[in-house]
Amino acid sequence: MIEVQNLTKHYGPVTAIRDVSFSVAPGEIVGFLGPNGAGKSTTMRILACFMPASGGSAKVAGYDVFRESLEVRRRIGYLPESVPLYTDLRVAPYLEFVAEVKGVPRGDRKKRVGDAMERCRIADVQHRLIGKLSKGYRQRVGLAQAIVNDPAVLILDEPTIGLDPKQITEIRELIKSLAGDHTVILSTHILPEVSMVCSSVVIINKGVIVARGPIDTLVDQFFPTARVEVEIAGQAPPAVRDALRLIPGVVAVNDLPGSDGIGRYMVESSRGRDVRGEVFLLAAQKRWDLRELRRMGMTLEEVFLHVVAGEQAGPEETA
């Protein structure tokens, strides 16, 4: 549904994104993940035909965003990050305007606008001025204008930013309910959101894609082993390491930076095996002073920190 190839965008001397390539299958919800200023909005603006790329190509629903922009724009619903709305219009007339501009036939307009308001739960404010609405309501009006023409592709830039937890949950449910009929690409820097809503992710950092794929595959790819962090006081590290390595299933034991007299170890075992019990029994048997035993989360968050923060911290660590 979305095909992006070697997309590059310069703002003067600054390169916002470089050689970004990914594709999104029909009916999929893809999370576009990255720290602030990574190039998420730039990519989405290009996909929404708001501005042209400096290089590369992007196709949405089979149409080129640059050469067949009108065809693309007929098939997308776009919600920019700042949720720009006409503050001097009332909600219902605004959505009717959007429906009309997006080419919803006159007969369907009332119904589509009603449906969109229903889905986004803004029917109760339909006669209010948009400028007088709270941030949460505005966000939902923004979402309603994106879905009012029932587009094949939805491009949502930070759709849950500035909402309270209850609203966030509602919006996520709404987005999930759109999957299947709609292809959704949504950007965010809230990680749990991605694991909850999206089937796959594209992680972008400093304008370059650093990881992409289905969430589970990504986690496996970056963390092929399960990890347990162990802290043991008053023992010589080499002895502890050797003992730990003898536990069945353990693949590797590495030292972690610890303080005086306290050793910290990273015990890696094959995926799906929890060696915490065995570590505890071993420590009890050897009468080690076991201070901490913690399983490391192998979540998307770890992957993200690994590829984004790791990349930033990496050179300094080795230097």
Partner 1 sequence: MKIWPIFKKEMRLYFTSPVAWVIMAVFLFIAGYFFYSIFSYYARVSMQSAMNPMGGGLNVTDGVLRPLFSNFSVILLLMMPLVTMRLFAEERRSGTIELLLTYPVRDGAVLLGKFLAAFALYVLMIALTLLYPAIIWYFAPLEWGPILTGYVGLLLMGATFIAVGVFASSLTENQIVAALLSFLILLMFWVVGWSADFADPALGRVLQHLSLTEHNDSFAKGVFETKDVIFYVNFTLVALFLALRSLEARRWKG
The side-by-side arrangement of strands in the sheet containing 55-60 is 14-24, 2-11, 55-60, 63-64
The string of DSSP letters for 150-176 reads --SEEEEESTTTT--HHHHHHHHHHHH
Contact segment (CB under 8 A) with partner 1 among 21-29, 78-86, 113-121, 292-300 equals: 78-86
The string of DSSP letters for 269-298 reads EETT---HHHHHHHHHHHT-EEEEEEEPP-
| Residue 10 in the binding site for partner 1 (CB under 8 A) | yes
End-to-end CA separation in angstroms for the chain: 44
Nearest approach, Cβ of 154 to partner 1 (angstroms)? 12
**Residues 122-161 interacting with partner 1 (rule: CB under 8 A):** 129, 145
Helix, strand, coil shares of the chain, percent, nearest 5, are: 40, 30, 30
| Residue 98 in the binding site for partner 1 (CB under 8 A) | yes
Based on CB atoms, which residue is closest to partner 1, 131 or 180?
131
| Residue 56 in the binding site for partner 1 (CB under 8 A) | no
**C-alpha–C-alpha distance, residues 57 and 52, integer Å:** 10
Asked whether 30 and 200 are in contact (CB, 8 A), the reply is yes
Based on CB atoms, which residue is closest to partner 1, 74 or 206?
74
| Residue 103 in the binding site for partner 1 (CB under 8 A) | yes
| Residue 54 in the binding site for partner 1 (CB under 8 A) | yes
Nearest approach, Cβ of 132 to partner 1 (angstroms)? 12
Based on CB atoms, which residue is closest to partner 1, 77 or 263?
77
**C-alpha–C-alpha distance, residues 49 and 289, integer Å:** 62
Nearest approach, Cβ of 192 to partner 1 (angstroms)? 28
| Residue 6 in the binding site for partner 1 (CB under 8 A) | no
Based on CB atoms, which residue is closest to partner 1, 107 or 272?
107
Nearest to 246 by CA among 275, 226, 272, 274: 275
Binding stretches for partner 1 (CB under 8 A):
10, 45, 48-55, 69-70, 73-74, 76, 78, 80, 82, 84-90, 93, 97-98, 100-103, 129, 145
